[in-house]
Structure 1
């Protein structure tokens, strides 16, 4: 079914306008303002206020987030395999009497 019904398209556009349109923006601004006032009075914990603000960012940023994920998924390439360089010096063990913490707790005189 590649043909879209005009009624279905109109319904989706109406829902889109309802969720991220001017009415939703005004309600989000009012919600954040009320949350801020309640936080100032000490009635709302900080975690709940962050949830409200981050929820607004996710709702209004959803189209951008989805585009970012979809473009990242299209540009995924296989990682490049890098072989180790043959010029790496061998790791040498320090002498048995070596103490890296010697003198660390003593004052410098």
Structure 2
């Protein structure tokens, strides 16, 4: 491709209409009941009282280290971002699904 054809190729590529993928199953496959139940338990554990208590302790530890002047900023940022990702996982996934569907 020459330099003159690249912009027109990209314009033609982006002008193509997007088609939805219909390969996703809308129901759980047969025999997946125990797996779905185990994953639901894991989700409840990771987003329930256990995760909330661990996240509160982690943020408190970061705050205490900041208070005493022994803060490793990379560790603190990792803890805070991890807490946001853990509790925002449902919203993140639904946003990705909506972006992919529409």
* Same fold? TM cut 0.5: yes
Q: Under a length normalisation based on structure 2, what TM-score does the superposition of the two structures give?
A: 0.65
Q: Choose the corresponding residue for 1:9, options 26, 29, 36.
A: 36
Q: Choose the corresponding residue for 1:53, options 62, 80, 83.
A: 80
Q: How many residues align?
A: 75
Consecutive unaligned residues of structure 2, counting only runs of 5 or more, are 1-27
Q: What stretches of structure 1 move > 3 A for 4+ residues in a row?
A: none
Greater radius of gyration (CA): 1
- Using the TM superposition, give the Cα deviation of residue 8 of structure 1 relative to its aligned residue in structure 2, in angstroms: 2.0
| Aligned equivalents of 2:67, 2:83: Cα separation in 1 | 20
CA RMSD of the aligned region, Å?
A: 1.6
Q: Which residue of 2 aligns with 1:65?
A: 92
Q: Choose the corresponding residue for 2:58, options 31, 37, 55.
A: 31
Q: Under a length normalisation based on structure 1, what TM-score does the superposition of the two structures give?
A: 0.62
Looking at secondary structure, tell me which structure has more helix per residue: 2
